[in-house]
Protein backbone atom coordinates (compact mmCIF):
# COMPACT_ATOMS: atom_id res chain seq x y z
CA UNK A 1 0.00 0.00 0.00
CA UNK A 2 1.38 3.41 -0.95
CA UNK A 3 1.22 5.92 1.89
CA UNK A 4 1.09 9.70 1.75
CA UNK A 5 4.56 10.01 3.28
CA UNK A 6 7.46 7.62 3.82
CA UNK A 7 9.96 8.66 6.49
CA UNK A 8 13.38 7.04 6.27
CA UNK A 9 15.01 7.14 9.70
CA UNK A 10 13.51 6.39 13.09
CA UNK A 11 15.33 8.91 15.27
CA UNK A 12 13.53 11.66 17.15
CA UNK A 13 13.29 13.90 14.08
CA UNK A 14 11.79 11.23 11.83
CA UNK A 15 9.35 10.12 14.53
CA UNK A 16 8.26 13.71 15.25
CA UNK A 17 7.68 14.19 11.53
CA UNK A 18 5.64 10.99 11.27
CA UNK A 19 3.54 11.86 14.31
CA UNK A 20 2.68 15.29 12.93
CA UNK A 21 1.63 13.74 9.63
CA UNK A 22 -0.48 11.05 11.26
CA UNK A 23 -2.07 13.53 13.69
CA UNK A 24 -3.15 15.55 10.64
CA UNK A 25 -5.02 12.53 9.25
CA UNK A 26 -2.51 11.51 6.58
CA UNK A 27 -0.94 8.08 6.17
CA UNK A 28 2.74 7.63 6.98
CA UNK A 29 5.25 4.83 7.27
CA UNK A 30 8.64 4.94 9.01
CA UNK A 31 11.50 2.79 7.68
CA UNK A 32 14.39 2.26 10.08
CA UNK A 33 17.45 0.09 9.66
CA UNK A 34 17.80 -0.67 13.38
CA UNK A 35 16.09 -3.34 15.43
CA UNK A 36 14.45 -0.58 17.45
CA UNK A 37 13.84 3.08 16.77
CA UNK A 38 15.85 5.76 18.51
CA UNK A 39 18.77 6.82 16.34
CA UNK A 40 21.08 8.93 18.47
CA UNK A 41 18.58 8.72 21.32
CA UNK A 42 20.31 5.44 22.00
CA UNK A 43 20.21 3.45 25.23
CA UNK A 44 21.73 0.05 25.80
CA UNK A 45 21.08 -2.32 28.68
CA UNK A 46 24.41 -2.95 30.40
CA UNK A 47 24.56 -5.16 33.48
CA UNK A 48 20.81 -4.91 33.94
CA UNK A 49 20.29 -1.15 33.58
CA UNK A 50 19.81 1.22 30.63
CA UNK A 51 22.77 3.45 29.81
CA UNK A 52 22.51 6.40 27.42
CA UNK A 53 25.09 6.13 24.66
CA UNK A 54 23.89 8.98 22.48
CA UNK A 55 22.44 12.33 23.52
CA UNK A 56 23.57 13.16 27.05
CA UNK A 57 20.50 15.24 27.92
CA UNK A 58 18.00 17.60 26.34
CA UNK A 59 16.86 21.16 26.95
CA UNK A 60 13.40 22.57 26.25
CA UNK A 61 14.34 26.24 25.95
CA UNK A 62 11.83 28.29 23.98
CA UNK A 63 10.58 25.36 21.88
CA UNK A 64 6.95 25.65 22.94
CA UNK A 65 5.56 22.68 21.02
CA UNK A 66 8.40 20.46 22.22
CA UNK A 67 7.71 21.74 25.73
CA UNK A 68 4.20 20.29 25.59
CA UNK A 69 5.64 16.90 24.62
CA UNK A 70 8.16 17.06 27.47
CA UNK A 71 5.45 18.01 29.96
CA UNK A 72 3.50 14.92 28.92
CA UNK A 73 6.64 12.78 29.31
CA UNK A 74 7.19 14.21 32.77
CA UNK A 75 3.60 13.52 33.80
CA UNK A 76 4.06 9.88 32.77
CA UNK A 77 7.48 9.59 34.43
CA UNK A 78 9.29 9.17 31.10
CA UNK A 79 11.37 12.32 31.56
CA UNK A 80 12.56 14.29 34.56
CA UNK A 81 14.44 17.52 35.23
CA UNK A 82 18.04 16.51 35.85
CA UNK A 83 20.25 19.53 36.62
CA UNK A 84 20.84 23.14 35.70
CA UNK A 85 24.48 23.06 36.81
CA UNK A 86 27.44 21.29 35.25
CA UNK A 87 31.11 21.90 35.95
CA UNK A 88 34.01 22.77 33.69
CA UNK A 89 37.17 20.84 34.53
CA UNK A 90 40.55 22.20 33.46
CA UNK A 91 43.55 20.10 32.47
CA UNK A 92 44.66 19.78 36.11
CA UNK A 93 41.27 18.56 37.28
CA UNK A 94 40.21 21.87 38.83
CA UNK A 95 36.43 22.30 38.55
CA UNK A 96 34.39 25.47 38.20
CA UNK A 97 30.61 25.56 38.16
CA UNK A 98 28.73 26.25 34.95
CA UNK A 99 25.07 27.10 35.55
CA UNK A 100 22.71 27.00 32.61
CA UNK A 101 19.25 25.92 31.50
CA UNK A 102 17.54 22.91 33.03
CA UNK A 103 18.81 19.71 31.43
CA UNK A 104 16.34 16.85 31.22
CA UNK A 105 16.95 13.11 31.29
CA UNK A 106 14.95 9.90 30.84
CA UNK A 107 14.82 7.50 33.84
CA UNK A 108 14.30 4.52 31.52
CA UNK A 109 16.94 5.64 29.04
CA UNK A 110 16.59 8.12 26.20
CA UNK A 111 15.45 5.42 23.78
CA UNK A 112 12.26 5.15 25.84
CA UNK A 113 11.30 8.60 24.55
CA UNK A 114 11.71 7.48 20.95
CA UNK A 115 9.68 4.34 21.63
CA UNK A 116 6.93 6.51 23.08
CA UNK A 117 6.89 8.72 19.98
CA UNK A 118 6.74 5.61 17.80
CA UNK A 119 3.75 4.13 19.64
CA UNK A 120 0.86 3.79 17.20
CA UNK A 121 2.94 4.58 14.12
CA UNK A 122 3.51 2.21 11.19
CA UNK A 123 7.19 1.46 11.76
CA UNK A 124 9.16 -1.07 9.71
CA UNK A 125 12.34 -1.99 11.60
CA UNK A 126 15.47 -3.61 10.17
CA UNK A 127 14.65 -2.10 6.79
CA UNK A 128 17.79 -0.86 5.05
CA UNK A 129 17.06 1.65 2.28
CA UNK A 130 19.61 1.75 -0.55
CA UNK A 131 18.27 4.36 -2.99
CA UNK A 132 15.84 7.27 -2.80
CA UNK A 133 14.39 9.51 -5.49
CA UNK A 134 11.50 11.98 -5.28
CA UNK A 135 8.43 9.93 -4.24
CA UNK A 136 10.35 6.65 -4.75
CA UNK A 137 12.18 4.40 -2.27
CA UNK A 138 14.20 1.51 -3.66
CA UNK A 139 12.27 1.65 -6.93
CA UNK A 140 8.81 1.58 -5.32
CA UNK A 141 6.25 4.41 -5.07
CA UNK A 142 6.48 5.95 -1.60
CA UNK A 143 4.47 9.18 -1.61
CA UNK A 144 6.40 12.15 -0.26
CA UNK A 145 9.78 10.93 1.01
CA UNK A 146 11.51 12.32 4.08
CA UNK A 147 15.13 11.56 4.96
CA UNK A 148 15.58 11.98 8.71
CA UNK A 149 19.26 11.28 9.20
CA UNK A 150 22.67 12.97 9.12
CA UNK A 151 23.39 14.63 5.78
CA UNK A 152 26.34 12.36 4.86
CA UNK A 153 24.04 9.34 5.19
CA UNK A 154 21.25 11.06 3.25
CA UNK A 155 23.71 11.96 0.47
CA UNK A 156 24.47 8.27 -0.02
CA UNK A 157 20.80 7.62 -0.78
CA UNK A 158 19.89 10.60 -2.93
CA UNK A 159 21.74 13.04 -5.20
CA UNK A 160 20.56 16.14 -3.36
CA UNK A 161 22.82 18.48 -1.28
CA UNK A 162 20.44 18.58 1.70
CA UNK A 163 22.86 20.21 4.11
CA UNK A 164 25.13 21.89 1.58
CA UNK A 165 27.78 19.28 2.38
CA UNK A 166 28.29 20.44 5.97
CA UNK A 167 30.87 18.50 7.98
CA UNK A 168 29.84 16.15 10.77
CA UNK A 169 31.91 15.27 13.81
CA UNK A 170 32.38 11.76 15.23
CA UNK A 171 32.24 10.78 18.90
CA UNK A 172 33.02 7.60 20.77
CA UNK A 173 30.93 7.14 23.91
CA UNK A 174 32.75 5.15 26.59
CA UNK A 175 30.76 3.62 29.45
CA UNK A 176 32.83 3.22 32.61
CA UNK A 177 31.56 1.40 35.71
CA UNK A 178 33.21 1.36 39.10
CA UNK A 179 32.26 -0.80 42.09
CA UNK A 180 31.46 2.37 44.01
CA UNK A 181 31.16 6.06 43.27
CA UNK A 182 34.57 7.76 43.23
CA UNK A 183 33.69 11.32 42.19
CA UNK A 184 31.86 14.20 43.91
CA UNK A 185 28.16 13.72 44.60
CA UNK A 186 27.33 17.06 42.99
CA UNK A 187 29.19 16.43 39.74
CA UNK A 188 26.15 15.65 37.51
CA UNK A 189 28.12 16.32 34.33
CA UNK A 190 31.37 17.96 33.35
CA UNK A 191 32.81 19.66 30.29
CA UNK A 192 36.53 19.01 29.85
CA UNK A 193 38.19 22.30 28.97
CA UNK A 194 40.75 21.78 26.23
CA UNK A 195 41.39 18.10 26.89
CA UNK A 196 42.70 16.18 23.89
CA UNK A 197 40.71 13.04 24.62
CA UNK A 198 37.50 13.89 26.48
CA UNK A 199 34.83 16.50 25.77
CA UNK A 200 32.02 15.66 28.23
CA UNK A 201 31.45 13.32 31.16
CA UNK A 202 27.99 12.43 32.48
CA UNK A 203 27.20 10.74 35.78
CA UNK A 204 24.76 8.17 34.40
CA UNK A 205 23.57 7.05 37.84
CA UNK A 206 22.74 10.64 38.73
CA UNK A 207 21.16 11.18 35.32
CA UNK A 208 19.12 8.00 35.58
CA UNK A 209 18.25 8.55 39.24
CA UNK A 210 19.41 5.15 40.49
CA UNK A 211 22.80 6.23 41.82
CA UNK A 212 24.74 3.60 39.87
CA UNK A 213 28.54 4.29 39.83
CA UNK A 214 28.61 4.69 36.04
CA UNK A 215 30.08 7.45 33.91
CA UNK A 216 29.44 7.92 30.20
CA UNK A 217 32.34 9.79 28.67
CA UNK A 218 32.24 11.37 25.21
CA UNK A 219 35.51 11.74 23.36
CA UNK A 220 36.65 14.74 21.43
CA UNK A 221 36.14 14.53 17.68
CA UNK A 222 39.90 14.27 17.14
CA UNK A 223 40.23 11.30 19.50
CA UNK A 224 37.20 9.62 17.88
CA UNK A 225 38.66 9.98 14.38
CA UNK A 226 41.69 7.97 15.46
CA UNK A 227 39.56 4.97 16.49
CA UNK A 228 36.56 4.81 14.17
CA UNK A 229 37.71 1.45 12.81
CA UNK A 230 38.39 0.04 16.29
CA UNK A 231 36.38 1.94 18.96
CA UNK A 232 37.65 -0.21 21.83
CA UNK A 233 41.09 1.29 21.32
CA UNK A 234 39.70 4.59 22.63
CA UNK A 235 38.96 3.07 26.03
CA UNK A 236 42.49 3.27 27.48
CA UNK A 237 43.12 6.97 26.73
CA UNK A 238 39.59 7.85 27.87
CA UNK A 239 40.04 6.00 31.17
CA UNK A 240 43.35 7.76 31.74
CA UNK A 241 41.85 11.17 30.98
CA UNK A 242 38.76 10.51 33.12
CA UNK A 243 40.83 9.43 36.12
CA UNK A 244 43.06 12.48 35.76
CA UNK A 245 40.23 14.98 35.28
CA UNK A 246 38.08 13.65 38.13
CA UNK A 247 41.00 12.52 40.31
CA UNK A 248 39.75 8.95 40.51
CA UNK A 249 42.24 6.64 42.23
CA UNK A 250 41.13 3.29 40.78
CA UNK A 251 40.61 1.60 37.44
CA UNK A 252 36.97 1.01 36.40
CA UNK A 253 35.53 -2.46 36.89
CA UNK A 254 34.24 -2.53 33.31
CA UNK A 255 34.31 -0.43 30.15
CA UNK A 256 32.45 -0.40 26.82
CA UNK A 257 32.86 1.81 23.74
CA UNK A 258 30.25 2.81 21.16
CA UNK A 259 31.10 4.61 17.92
CA UNK A 260 29.08 7.47 16.47
CA UNK A 261 30.55 8.23 13.04
CA UNK A 262 28.11 11.11 12.55
CA UNK A 263 27.44 12.34 16.08
CA UNK A 264 26.74 16.00 15.47
CA UNK A 265 26.93 18.59 12.68
CA UNK A 266 29.85 21.00 12.83
CA UNK A 267 27.41 23.74 11.78
CA UNK A 268 23.67 24.09 11.26
CA UNK A 269 21.74 25.58 8.35
CA UNK A 270 19.60 28.06 10.26
CA UNK A 271 16.55 26.81 8.34
CA UNK A 272 13.90 24.50 9.87
CA UNK A 273 14.11 21.76 7.23
CA UNK A 274 14.79 20.98 3.55
CA UNK A 275 11.76 20.81 1.27
CA UNK A 276 11.51 19.90 -2.38
CA UNK A 277 8.77 18.15 -4.37
CA UNK A 278 8.71 14.48 -3.41
CA UNK A 279 11.86 14.56 -1.29
CA UNK A 280 12.54 16.42 1.96
CA UNK A 281 14.89 16.23 4.93
CA UNK A 282 14.86 17.11 8.62
CA UNK A 283 17.06 16.69 11.68
CA UNK A 284 19.31 18.43 14.17
CA UNK A 285 21.43 20.06 11.45
CA UNK A 286 18.37 22.19 10.62
CA UNK A 287 17.75 25.13 12.92
CA UNK A 288 19.94 27.43 14.95
CA UNK A 289 21.87 24.85 16.98
CA UNK A 290 22.31 21.09 17.06
CA UNK A 291 20.20 19.69 19.90
CA UNK A 292 17.49 17.16 20.68
CA UNK A 293 14.87 19.91 20.68
CA UNK A 294 16.14 21.08 17.29
CA UNK A 295 15.73 17.58 15.84
CA UNK A 296 12.20 17.23 17.22
CA UNK A 297 11.20 20.74 16.12
CA UNK A 298 12.60 20.20 12.61
CA UNK A 299 10.69 16.95 12.16
CA UNK A 300 7.48 18.33 13.61
CA UNK A 301 7.62 21.43 11.41
CA UNK A 302 8.29 19.42 8.27
CA UNK A 303 5.54 16.96 9.10
CA UNK A 304 3.00 19.73 9.53
CA UNK A 305 4.15 21.40 6.31
CA UNK A 306 3.80 18.15 4.35
CA UNK A 307 0.39 17.40 5.83
CA UNK A 308 -0.85 20.86 4.85
CA UNK A 309 0.44 20.73 1.27
**Which pLDDT does position 159 carry in this prediction?**
81
Is 158 domain-assigned? yes
Is 123 domain-assigned? yes
pLDDT in tens, 42-53: 899 999 999 999
For residues 81 and 121, the answer to whether their CB atoms sit within 8 Å is no
Same domain, 38 and 178: no
Same domain, 171 and 154: no
Same domain, 77 and 190: yes
**Residue 163 confidence (pLDDT) above 70:** no
Count other Cβ atoms within 10 Å, centred on residue 111.
22
Is 208 domain-assigned? yes
Same domain, 28 and 146: yes
Is 51 domain-assigned? no
Is 49 domain-assigned? no
Same domain, 95 and 77: yes
By DSSP bridging, strand 198-203 and strand 214-219 are antiparallel
**Which pLDDT does position 84 carry in this prediction?**
97
Is 177 domain-assigned? yes
Same domain, 203 and 91: yes
Q: Using 50, 70 and 90 to split pLDDT, how confident is the model at 94?
A: confident
By DSSP bridging, strand 189-192 and strand 80-89 are parallel
Q: Using 50, 70 and 90 to split pLDDT, how confident is the model at 309?
A: confident
Read off the pLDDT of each residue in 47-69 and give the average, rounded to a whole number.
94
Largest CA distance in the chain: 61
Read off the pLDDT of each residue in 133-145 and give the average, rounded to a whole number.
96
Percent of the chain with pLDDT over 70: 98
Read off the pLDDT of each residue in 257-263 and give the average, rounded to a whole number.
96
Same domain, 103 and 124: no
Same domain, 78 and 175: yes
From residue 258, give the alpha-carbon distance in Å to each of 49, 109, 218: 16, 16, 10
Is 48 domain-assigned? no
**Which pLDDT does position 288 carry in this prediction?**
85
**Which pLDDT does position 176 carry in this prediction?**
98
Read off the pLDDT of each residue in 63-74 and give the average, rounded to a whole number.
96
Q: How many domains does the chain have?
A: 2
Read off the pLDDT of each residue in 97-119 and give the average, rounded to a whole number.
95
Same domain, 144 and 92: no
Same domain, 130 and 31: yes
Read off the pLDDT of each residue in 272-292 and give the average, rounded to a whole number.
93
Q: Which position has the higher pLDDT, 93 or 207?
A: 207
Percent of the chain with pLDDT over 90: 88
For residues 198 and 217, the answer to whether their CB atoms sit within 8 Å is yes
**Residue 14 confidence (pLDDT) above 80:** yes
Range of the domain at 26: 1-42+110-166+271-309
Q: What is the mean pLDDT of the chain?
A: 94
DSSP string, 212-266: -SEEEEEEPHHHHHTTTT-GGGGHHHHHHHHHHHHT--S--SEEEEEEEEEEEES
pTM above 0.85, yes or no: yes
**Residue 70 confidence (pLDDT) above 80:** yes
Same domain, 214 and 257: yes
**Which pLDDT does position 2 carry in this prediction?**
84
Helix (H) or strand (E) holding 32, with range, is none
Read off the pLDDT of each residue in 33-41 and give the average, rounded to a whole number.
94
CATH number where 24 lies? 3.50.50.60
**Which pLDDT does position 165 carry in this prediction?**
60
CATH number where 202 lies? 3.90.660.10
Q: Using 50, 70 and 90 to split pLDDT, how confident is the model at 164?
A: low
Same domain, 102 and 239: yes
Rounded to the nearest 10 degrees, the angle between the axes of helix 111-118 and helix 12-23 is 20
Is 224 domain-assigned? yes
Read off the pLDDT of each residue in 141-148 and give the average, rounded to a whole number.
97
pLDDT in tens, 165-206: 668 999 999 999 999 999 998 899 999 999 999 999 999 999
Cα(31)–Cα(28) distance, integer angstroms: 10
Amino acid sequence: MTVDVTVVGGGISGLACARAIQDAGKTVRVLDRGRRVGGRLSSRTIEGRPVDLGASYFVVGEAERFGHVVADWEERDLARPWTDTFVVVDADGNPSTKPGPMRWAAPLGSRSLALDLADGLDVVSERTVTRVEPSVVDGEPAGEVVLAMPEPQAARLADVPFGEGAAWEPVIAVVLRWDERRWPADLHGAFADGDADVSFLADDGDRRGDGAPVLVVHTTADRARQHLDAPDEAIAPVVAATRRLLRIDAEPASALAHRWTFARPAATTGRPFFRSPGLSACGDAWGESSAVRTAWTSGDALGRALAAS
